[in-house]
Amino acid sequence: MPYTIAEKIIMAHSGLKSVKPGEFIEVDVDLALGNDITAPIAISEFKKAGFKTVFNRNIIALVPDHFAPAKDLKSANQCKILADFANEQKIKNYFEVGRMGIEHALLPELGLVGPGDMIIGADSHTCTYGALGAYSTGVGSTDLARAFADGKFWMKVPATIKFVYKGKPGKWVGGKDLILFTIGQIGVDGALYKVMEFSGPVIKKLAMDGRFSMSNMAIEAGGRAGIIEPDEITLKYVQQNQKYKSKARNLRSDPEADYEKIYEWDVTGLEPQVACPHLPSNVKPVGELKDIKVDQVVIGSCTNGRISDLRMAAKILKGKKVAAGVKLIVIPATQKIYLECVDEGWAQIFVKAGGIFSTPTCGPCLGGHMGILAEGEVAIATTNRNFVGRMGSPKSFVYLSNPAVAAASAITGKITHPEKIG
């Protein structure tokens, strides 16, 4: 019987010889992830249930990144719960400030996730690792607690929707624009509880960082996972990390696999996309947005805080100044990326332009710290959500874009196509 990539990974981790959408099954987990918001709840439930020792300390990753470095006493206590539990259980994949990064950039960078893996995380953007050909999905804190206890979790097998991208997109267009375009086409519930499988000639040419951006935002269309077939680009990426050995070098969907839907788009000439307030599906080409002034620009996050993102932004900002009255906040996603920006001179460009260059943190993306919006303020950000109040006041406004658009907008003080910057 033919199967999709997702179904093959699910079968491999369930011990079943066949699966079909809608079935409830139990699967083994390769990695269980928690952060400083979600893991304390999981730890509490784990202890309430009477467990003393985790099932396997090597399959757990704990990353304090949302309110870290701790912004106040409450967040400090949350982080301490992770530190104490990691010490008590001897969990080696605990990443304290100084070693940490934004979780969904850090784990691939360290080679802790890869093709064919079954990964759960108590964070909705855990779907990021599907870019490597993993089945990777967000779960609740109680599901995470259960995985701490026995390395398993219950799931309903999702149907898969296939997305095929053809043609030649315009300049400055990358993975962020392709996923925003997709969400704009199908809506925020267009893939509700489905696997989104991204494919086609455009995806084959897309660099790894762009693939991470696409899979990261599958959840913004309601998707359980966003998977891309592993290919030579994937294998080159995972093989540079000695800690990970690919388990599924030839993992792909069968030609006769059953899809709930297939979308096929020619994206020739597609220009950079911008999601306007207050939904990731309220998408327009950047050229259609006129005279929208911004108070804040955020470049970073688990969606677009990788080195290629920051290089792109820095090249646009080089020799330029941030517009008067605009706050530019640049946040590399990991310590490694931070150092690369310093070594390559990008950090200096950001600061000389009039921006700030921060240690890794989720910070402003979820309205945590490092850039909260006041009432009436407008931001353009390379983050992944722009719901009401997402970055601060319920009466603020957030636009989502790729790093090039964000950098160009910082210079002009209004949402701008990067081609307008000389």
- Tokens 């912004």: give the residue: 71
pLDDT in tens, 313-367: 999 999 999 999 999 999 999 999 999 999 999 999 999 999 999 999 999 999 9
Amino acid (one-letter) located at 376: G
pLDDT of residue 250: 63
pLDDT at position 98, please?
Answer: 87
The answer on 328 and 196 residing in a single domain is no
Both tokens assigned to 239: 């093989």
Q: Do both 117 and 189 map to the same domain? A: yes
The tokens describing 292, both together, are 């929208």
In the chain, the number of structural domains is: 2
Task: Give Cα separations from 60 to 32, 201, 335 (angstroms).
Answer: 5, 36, 21
Same domain, 240 and 292: no
The last residue of a domain, from among 265, 293, 320: 265
User: Is the pTM above the cut of 0.85?
Assistant: yes
Task: Note the pLDDT of residue 244.
Answer: 52
**Amino acid 246: pLDDT:** 47
CATH code, domain with 33: 3.30.499.10
Phi-psi label, residue 113: left if phi above 0, alpha if psi -120 to 50, beta otherwise: beta
Q: What is the pLDDT of residue 405?
A: 98
The answer to whether residue 225 is domain-embedded is yes
Give the CA angle between residues 329, 333, 335 to the nearest 5°. Answer: 110
For residue 239, the model assigns a pLDDT of 83
243 neighbors 144 (Cβ within 8 angstroms): no
Same domain, 297 and 401: yes
Q: Answer yes or no: is 326 within a domain.
A: yes
pLDDT in tens, 229-257: 999 999 889 887 645 554 555 689 999 99
Q: Are residues 227 and 102 in the same domain?
A: yes
Domain membership of residue 422 (yes or no) is no
Same domain, 294 and 184: no
Q: Residue 345 burial by CB count (10 A; 0-12/13-18/19+): exposed, middle or buried?
A: exposed
Judge if 182 and 305 occupy the same domain: no
Same domain? 42 vs 122 = yes
Residues 61 and 108 in one domain: yes
Cα–Cα distance for residue pair 147/232, rounded to 1 Å:
32
Which residues lie across from 227 on neighbouring strands? 197
List, run by run, the mean pLDDT of 10-residue segments along the chain (422 residues). Answer: 94 94 97 96 97 96 94 95 97 91 95 94 97 96 97 97 96 97 97 97 97 98 97 88 54 93 97 97 96 97 97 97 97 97 97 96 92 97 95 96 98 96 76
Q: What 3 state SS string does the chain have?
A: CCCCHHHHHHHHHHCCCCCCCCCEEEEECCEEEEECCCHHHHHHHHHHCCCCCCCCHHHEEEECCCCCCCCCHHHHHHHHHHHHHHHHHCCCCECCCCCCECHHHHHHHCCCCCCCCEEEECCHHHHHHHHHCCEEEECCHHHHHHHHHHCEEEEECCCEEEEEEECCCCCCCCHHHHHHHHHHHHCCCCCCCCEEEEECHHHHCCCHHHHHHHHHHHHHHCCCEEEECCCHHHHHHHHCCCCCCCCCCCCCCCCCCCCCEEEEEECCCCCCEEECCCCCCCEEEHHHCCCCECCEEEEEHHHHCCHHHHHHHHHHHCCCCCCCCCEEEEECCEHHHHHHHHHHCHHHHHHHHCCEECCCCCHHHHCCCCCCECCCCEEEECCCCCCCCCCECCCCEEEECCHHHHHHHHHHCECCCHHHCC
Q: Are residues 297 and 395 in the same domain?
A: yes
298 shares a domain with 363: yes
Q: Are residues 299 and 220 in the same domain?
A: no
Last residue of a domain, one of 244, 265, 286: 265
Contacts of 290 (CB under 8 A, 6+ apart): none
* Residue that finishes a domain, picked among 242, 265, 288: 265
Long-range pairs, 392-396, Cβ under 8 A, ≥24: 392/364, 392/367
Beta bridge partners of 300: 331
Amino acid at 257: A
Domain range holding 398? 273-417
* pLDDT of amino acid 102: 95
